[in-house]
Structure 1
Amino acid sequence: MSTEALHRLVVNGDVCGSGRLGLRAKLRMREAMYGVFASGFDAAGVGERSFRMEDRGDGVLVALAPDVPSAQLVGPWLEGVYQRLRQENEGRAEPLRMRVAMHAGPVAEDARGLAGRAVDLTCRLCDSDTARDVIELADRAPLLFVVSDSLYHDVVAEGGACIEPEHYRKARVSKKETDTEAWFHVPRLPYPPLPAPERPRVTGVHAARGPAPEQGGGADHGGSAPPPEYAAKYHFGHIGGSNQIFDGNTFNGDFTGVRDTASGPETGSATEGGGR
């Protein structure tokens, strides 16, 4: 078998919460999962000879033949998967829910399976904390779909049958060596419930002076002083507790001060103890 890398679409699907299942329930889950993927391929008109599928226990990894149009998977295949999931979940107390990710790039194949950075990225998109957070926030939605930034711009953004680019949203994905942006979609929702981005902690003197400037653009102020756009004629500060350090000085007790930045040092009064 040739190990030459070919440009192929890669799909990784994973069942949510499978670790909680017992053996019999897990076997039923696997049967349903394979039925879901088969329905997707039928809907997209993709035969078994056009893809290589690997079993991943509670998921599957698939690489499509180079001549399979990516739009068929992003559109009709995804719709087929979604509809089959709805059928599988009829009457289930615990619905079958899946995360599915796609990316396209060079993929090598040997007797043992699939390899390549495209495979790595697809799996990391599917298994990322961001993807797990989104499917959790999506309540009982049966399917989360994630595509790489390049696949979104090359395929999804162009639209087509069963493709809804306006219902995708972009979020950051960090997993192992991967730090990138991806696009998230929950079928039948106007937009996916993305987790709130983490805000950097602001402490010390910069917390008193105002928010730090956004990263990217502007001069580097080295953390020693606020940039010019944050400068003001007067500086107000309140310090609670004893032995607080403020602009290089130590104060014992609460202290409220006002400083005229143009004319002189800060003056103020201590409510207890003295400043030094």
Structure 2
Amino acid sequence: MAGSGRWNDRVQLRARAALDSMVRTAFRGISRHRLVIEDRGDGMIVLIPPTVSKVDLFDPLIPRLAAALRDHNSTVEPRIRLRVAVHAGEVLHGRAGWVGTDLNLACRLVNSPPLYRELTCRPHADLALIVSDTIHQAVVRHGHRGIDPADYRPVHVAVKEVETRAWLFTPLPAPRPVTLVPRVVPA
């Protein structure tokens, strides 16, 4: 959750509960016991089983998450803004949890300067998405259901040991309601 370190503990607790609810909404239809969700304090890691189509991540999961964020942010302060990374690969489970180069890459992507800049430069955006080149090549570039490849732009990511190309997408915020003010014309 972008900027959550500035919130007091009680606000963080409410925001974390709201995030959990939004993720549950986004992933409805996928059995919760098939997902691995690790709390990271100001965010989470969600490991999705390989039986879930990668196309389903983009339609309906990301749109559901964006819609849940919009709904939440329209009525509750402070606004929750998310950086989301999508990558696919292999992970291993050990005594201390999940590990793997592919998990590290996803974590580097979500903490990359291009993704941070994206939310900074788009203050009205609730969500910024970065996908690995692997995901772009396998899913996005083909324009599968609900995906417009033209919405994604390439970025260079260099964080710690990772140097790679990734792809950014920021869903447009919902249009704000327009309030019409009658204009009085002097006679």
Deviation at 1:109, TM superposition (A): 1.7
- Structure 2, unaligned stretches of length 5 or more? 174-187
Deviation at 1:82, TM superposition (A): 0.4
Residue of 49, 52, 57 corresponding to 1:65: 49
Counterpart-to-counterpart distance in 1, 2:59 and 2:108:
22
Larger radius of gyration: 1
1:96 aligns with 2:80: yes
Residue of 3, 8, 24 corresponding to 1:38: 24
Amino acid at match of 1:132: Y
1:181 aligns with 2:165: yes
- Structure 1, unaligned stretches of length 5 or more? 1-14, 190-276
Counterpart-to-counterpart distance in 2, 1:116 and 1:182:
19
Greater RCO, CA 8 A, separation 6+: 2
More helix by share: 2
CA contact (8 A) 1:95 1:140 kept: no
Residue correspondences, number: 173
- What TM-score do you get using the length of structure 2 for normalisation? 0.88
Amino acid at match of 2:67: Q
Counterpart-to-counterpart distance in 2, 1:36 and 1:175:
28
Residue of 15, 40, 49 corresponding to 1:29: 15
Where 1:105 maps in the other structure, the secondary structure is coil
1:16 aligns with 2:2: yes
Describe how 1:118-137 pairs up with structure 2 within 5 A: 118-137=102-121
Counterpart-to-counterpart distance in 2, 1:112 and 1:169:
36
What's 1:117 paired with?
101
Where 1:171 maps in the other structure, the secondary structure is strand
Counterpart-to-counterpart distance in 1, 2:77 and 2:114:
26
Residue of 42, 47, 50 corresponding to 2:31: 47
What is the RMSD computed on CA atoms of the aligned residues? 1.3
Counterpart-to-counterpart distance in 1, 2:157 and 2:96:
28
1:159 aligns with 2:150: no
- What TM-score do you get using the length of structure 1 for normalisation? 0.60
